[in-house]
Amino acid sequence: MTGGFYIDFNAESGKPSEGQSIFGRPPDFTVANVMLWSNEPMIAIDARTVVLGYLFRKGPPSVRVHEGAGAGADGSALAASSGRALLTGYWGGYIFVHVTQGGALYVLRDPSGLLPCYIRRAGVETALAGDITDLAVPGPGRIDFEEIGRILASGDARGRKTCLFGVEELIAGECLIVDRLGAMIEPWWSPWDHVAPRKMSVEEEASHLRQTIADCIGSWSSCFPSILLGASGGLDSSIVAVAATPRSERLTALTLVSPGIVGDERPYAHAVASSLGIRLRDAPLDLADIDVERAVTPHHPWPISPIFKQAVGAVHRRLQSEIPIDAHFSGNGGDGIFCSIRSAVPLLDRFLSEGPSIALGKTIRNISDLTGADFLSVFRHAWTRHRRSGGVHLPLYNELGLEGEVLARTEAQGFSHPWLLPPEDALPGKTVHVAFLMRAQKSLELYPRRSAPPHIAPLLSQPIVELCLSIPTWHWIADGRDRAVARAAFSNRLPKTIIERRQKGGPTEFNLSIYRTHRDRLHEMLSGGVLAAAGIIDISILDEPEDVSWRGNAREQRILAFAAAESWARRWNGG
């Protein structure tokens, strides 16, 4: 099942729309100066209101609102509130579209961010689409190199702007309002509205989290006849597997194998699949599938996808010729949503929330067990962090290989994403938790939505996120374990080897193999590339001697990241 949508608002009625040529048919929804095309499920609320994507009435049990079924008795309330009522009574992966009697357009993107939404504004015309290639075409002058430099400098630097001039993102939970006088964006949902603790014990939180995850992921699973789940045997994807299995008609787990011990997680994936009775496939990542000159995800508006994802895509294409795949599921975002924090900020949070108490000693012990630091080091780190910034999250920068002026400008600008500007009373740990959530929502789409099955990261579902935000950070490290509440929630549903697993594998050796195999071509690309010409990267990183220590690994990984950005930029520059 493929998707995608295009929305056109034009104050000058009668002007042809690009949507006609993109979709090759008349619009599916027309009101006043608004035309809409959609291959997503489309739910007609009334003559002026539709919802694109997947919508569920909040439970438990949550109930899907099917295409063509409207929203029942709540439909008039949704239209009257211009979509605000969706934020409390519904959830899903959707775009809400409403045209008022006066001709104003309201477009609300749901808080999960699971359905992409980008905006192009030019004069009297505003267009929105779920695929960046529907809003921009490659060519000279298209790329915002300064924004590429910012995202290479810091994952915290991403905001509304994309790396293509004239195109921005409608951030999850925001509503775009367009009329004849112009356009404005309003934040209708914010993670900061959900950080207040619910005064529950860890056991009560674990029970609530288990029920919420089962409800949300079960609801998602019921939407697709055949699901391919990326399963590494890590905690997050294993939780998705547990929750998806009961309501999935056909669930196949896939574990990818790369060189080295840490790249082979088949024993863990097999333990999960065997305990649940689901099919498990494994496939190697193959260097033959790598072309370092090809853009990895040109349909993303930020060049942040690593080169090894080309091999992942090749595995998926081969599998799709063997088995039906209606959707890709993953545990993406789990680390951030389950607040996998490894610092002393939970100690600051507990002290600021409860004041001095014996319980602080338990939190210090948990941080020590989690990080390996001694008690005095934990206390010193907490105090140093508090003195530096009050403990709140500050942007993290990677200066390796960047031109100094790029880093200086990025540091001077600071945060640009609205979620990273916390209220004055925000606890330090929650500023970290919200930053994790922001990063998890960027560029979720594996493939162009109009030509491939959708990617669902169900842990980002609004009820799960809101619940996790309300859990105190010191509960997430209970008993000296990261993601402790999630571990407790599924301790009786997953093998002990998964619940107690502390280290996670990955494609590190495969990445190094890519670098070593294509070293000369990678260096040639970057030394004569558009990023160097634009003054973004310092090519002296290419001349540094090889280093067999972890520092050398960091350099090689950085060069691979630069090469992925270079190939993306060349593609969008018209090359």
Instruction: Specify the length of the chain in residues.
Output: 575
Tokens, residue 75: 């439909």
Where does a domain end: 131, 158, 189?
189
For the stretch 211-253, pLDDT in tens is: 999 999 999 999 999 999 999 889 999 999 999 999 998 999 9
User: Do residues 272 and 406 both lie within one domain?
Assistant: yes
Where does a domain end: 172, 189, 206?
189
User: Do residues 536 and 515 both lie within one domain?
Assistant: yes
Q: What is the CATH number of the domain that holds 91?
A: 3.60.20.10
Average pLDDT over residues 387-399: 90
Dihedral of the alpha carbons of 168, 170, 175, 179, in degrees to the nearest 10 = 30
Q: How far apart are CA 424 and CA 406, in angstroms?
A: 30
Q: Regarding beta strands 167-169 and 29-31, do their DSSP bridges make them parallel or antiparallel, or are they unpaired?
A: unpaired
Where does a domain end: 189, 204, 230?
189
User: Do residues 498 and 477 both lie within one domain?
Assistant: yes
The pTM of this model reads 0.96
* pLDDT at site 67: 66
Question: DSSP string covering 473-517, please?
Answer: HHHHTGGG-TTHHHHHHTTTTS-HHHHT------SHHHHHHHHHH
Look over the chain and give the mean of its residue pLDDT values, rounded to a whole number.
93
Assess contact for 164 and 177: CB atoms under 8 A: no
User: Do residues 232 and 170 both lie within one domain?
Assistant: no
The conformation of residue 13, written as its DSSP 8-state character, comes to: T
User: Do residues 390 and 495 both lie within one domain?
Assistant: yes
Number of folded domains that form the chain: 3
User: Do residues 241 and 210 both lie within one domain?
Assistant: yes
For the stretch 406-430, pLDDT in tens is: 999 999 998 899 999 999 999 999 9
User: Do residues 469 and 515 both lie within one domain?
Assistant: no
Three-class SS of 290-351:
CCCCCCCCCCCCCCCCCCCHHHHHHHHHHHHCCCCCCEEECCCCHHHHCCCCCCCHHHHHHH
Tokens, residue 562: 């630069």
SS3 of 528, please? coil
User: Do residues 134 and 221 both lie within one domain?
Assistant: no
Chain centroid offset of residue 232 CA = 18
Assess contact for 411 and 265: CB atoms under 8 A: no
Tokens, residue 81: 């509130």
For the stretch 472-526, pLDDT in tens is: 999 999 999 999 999 999 999 999 999 999 887 789 899 999 999 999 999 999 9
User: Do residues 124 and 243 both lie within one domain?
Assistant: no
Q: Which residues contact 92 (CB under 8 A, 6 or more apart)?
A: 53, 54, 55, 56, 110, 112, 114, 461, 462
User: Do residues 419 and 488 both lie within one domain?
Assistant: yes
User: Do residues 464 and 526 both lie within one domain?
Assistant: no
Establish whether the linkage from the previous residue to 495 is cis, with ω within 30° of 0.
Answer: no
Q: What is the CATH number of the domain that holds 276?
A: 3.40.50.620
69 has pLDDT over 70: no
Closest C-alpha to 555, from 500, 516, 517: 516
Of 27 and 261, the one with more pLDDT? 27
For the stretch 152-201, pLDDT in tens is: 999 999 899 999 999 999 999 999 999 988 899 999 999 999 999 988 99
Establish whether the linkage from the previous residue to 41 is cis, with ω within 30° of 0.
Answer: no
382 has pLDDT over 90: yes
Domain containing 550 equals: 508-572
User: Do residues 106 and 60 both lie within one domain?
Assistant: yes
Q: Which residues contact 146 (CB under 8 A, 6 or more apart)?
A: 406, 409
Residue 270 CB-density burial (10 A; 0-12 exposed, 13-18 middle, 19+ buried): middle
Chain centroid offset of residue 564 CA = 19
